[in-house]
A = this chain, B = another copy of it.
Amino acid sequence: MRVAFLGLGIMGRSMAANLVKAGNDVTVWNRSPKAVEGAKTAVSPKEAAANAEVVWVCVSDTAAVEQVLTGKDGAFESLKPGMIVADSSTILPEISVKFAEQARERGADFVDAPVTGSKIAAEGGTLIFMTGGKDETIQKLDPLLKAMGKTVIRIGDNGKGLGAKLAMNLMIALIYEGFAEALTLATKLGVDQQALFSLIQSSMVRSGVVDYKMPFVEKRDFSPNFPLRLMHKDIRLMLEAAKESGVKLPALETVKNIYDKAHEAGRDDLDYAATLLTVEELAKGK
Contact = CB atoms under 8 A, between A and B. Distances in A.
Interface of A: 93, 116-118, 128, 130, 151, 153-156, 159-160, 163-164, 166-168, 170-175, 177-179, 181-186, 188-192, 195-196, 198-200, 202-209, 211-212, 238, 241-242, 245-255, 257-258, 279, 282-285
Contacts of A160: 189-192, 195
Contacts of A245: 185, 188-189
Candidate in A156, A163, A167, A184 with the most chain B CB atoms within 10 angstroms: A167
14 contacts: A93-B189, A117-B203, A159-B189, A164-B191, A166-B185, A168-B203, A171-B178, A177-B251, A181-B249, A188-B245, A189-B241, A204-B211, A206-B207, A251-B255
Contacts of A241: 185, 189
Given A179-B171, A251-B177, A186 B163 contact: yes
A11 to B, nearest CB: 14
Contacts of A185: 163, 166-167, 170, 238, 241-242, 245, 247, 249
User: Interface of chain A, helix or strand or loop or mixed?
Assistant: helix
Contacts of A252: 181
Contacts of A250: 181, 254, 257-258, 279, 282
Contact of A285 (B117, B181, B207, B246): B246
Given A128-B199, A250-B282, A254-B254, A178 B183 contact: no
Contacts of A258: 250-251
A188 B167 CA distance: 11
A128 B203 CA distance: 7
B175 A205 contact: yes
A205 B209 contact: yes
Contacts of A93: 189
